[in-house]
Amino acid sequence: MPTYAYRCRECTGTFELNRPMSESGEPAICPGGHADTVKLLTTVALTGAAGGSAPAPAASGGGCCGGGCCG
């Protein structure tokens, strides 16, 4: 079940709720009992590849032009 972060506009505290995605837009009451809350936009960092590490970039021969002749 996804976790959603909220901020209370009255006490300025932040809190999280685990709820189904179908209820993500429903009002949330802060732990202090205040109803004036707003859902925060959160980000998820994805790194690497599934099941292993990402492949290393191919060697290009170096240099500032990616291995080509600069002039």
For residues 41-59, average pLDDT: 65
Mean pLDDT, range 41-52, rounded to an integer: 70
**pLDDT (average), residues 20-25:** 90
Res 4 pLDDT > 90 = yes
What single-letter DSSP state applies at residue 54? P
User: Please, what is the Cα angle at 18 between 1 and 22, to 5 degrees?
Assistant: 65
Beta strands in 1-71 (DSSP E): 3-8, 14-18, 37-39
Interval 41-68 mean pLDDT = 63
**Strands, sheet with 37-39, edge to edge from the N-terminal-most edge strand:** 14-18, 3-8, 37-39
Both tokens assigned to 43 = 């980000």
What does the alpha-carbon distance between residue 37 and residue 5 come to, in Å, rounded to a whole number? Answer: 10
The lowest-confidence range among 9-13, 23-27, 36-40, 51-55 is 51-55
